[in-house]
Amino acid sequence: MSRTDSLHRAAVLGSPIAHSLSPVLHRAAYAELGLADWSYDRFEVDEEALPGFVEELGPEWAGLSLTMPLKRAVIPLLDEISETATSVEAVNTLVFTEDGRRVGDNTDIPGMVAALRERGIEQVESAAILGAGATASSALAALARICTGEVVAYVRSEARAAEMRQWGERLDIEVRTAAWAEAERGLSAPLVIATTPAGATDALAGAVPERPTTLFDVLYDPWPTELAARWSAYGGAVVSGLDLLVHQAVLQVEQMTGCKAAPVGAMRRAGERALAERG
């Protein structure tokens, strides 16, 4: 059922949250869809404050977007959680149903798949993941849907390597781990997903192959990263963190509002403008 006939609220929660582009993307969608009675805000909320915040929300609330450090903290507060979110123990979307139930989902994973599909990547024979943080597990879950062979994860510690292998077993995808010092080798994979913090892959820019394939760099600010800039200069395809942010937000808008097709183009343009204004 579409929620278009009365006032509805949504917001993004996290800590820190001031940098979030989610309000820009969701509000752009509402404007394009003609949802004049919808609002979308941001709130600084940490793990300790989350239960009380959720409990105090009234019936006008349609949903919440959740960023770090709340993606796992929200799980005990839910009445239902999707298989996708369960697979990585992370919820980035909370939808309040009309009968008051709290339903959790993860749109990062299908968002990654959609961002790749938009660039013509439907399936790959193998892939490399740079890094092993929270985003890396979502990347593995996305690859479980499109990768037919081995995924090599380049990590900085044996503890991280063990985590990635465990995620591979859980997600039923073949994962081999290698030391970060060998990450240059991964750049020749059919698909490279960089999940590391800003600056972490800068030293790899000089090792981009002459004919690069596809790089999915989950960062978006500052953009481009040195790796993405060199990759693009050599003619390789680059999928950015903004692409991911837009596609996961598209799915959130559709779930929260009941609209069947959120406006991808309008949301991306709004995000690009907002990033340009940040300088």
R_g of the chain, CA atoms, integer Å: 19
Please give the structure tokens belonging to residue 206.
């000089």
Whether the Cβ atoms of residue 224 and residue 238 lie closer than 8 Å to each other: yes
Pairing of the two strands 175-179 and 214-217: unpaired
CA 192 – CA 63 distance, rounded (Å): 33
CA 140 – CA 172 distance, rounded (Å): 10
Catalytic-residue membership of 71 = yes
CA angle 74, 77, 81 (to 5 degrees): 75
CA 35 – CA 27 distance, rounded (Å): 9
Which candidate in 9, 42, 71, 247 is catalytic? 71
Burial of 120 (0-12, 13-18, 19+ CB in 10 A): exposed
Active centre residues (catalytic): 71
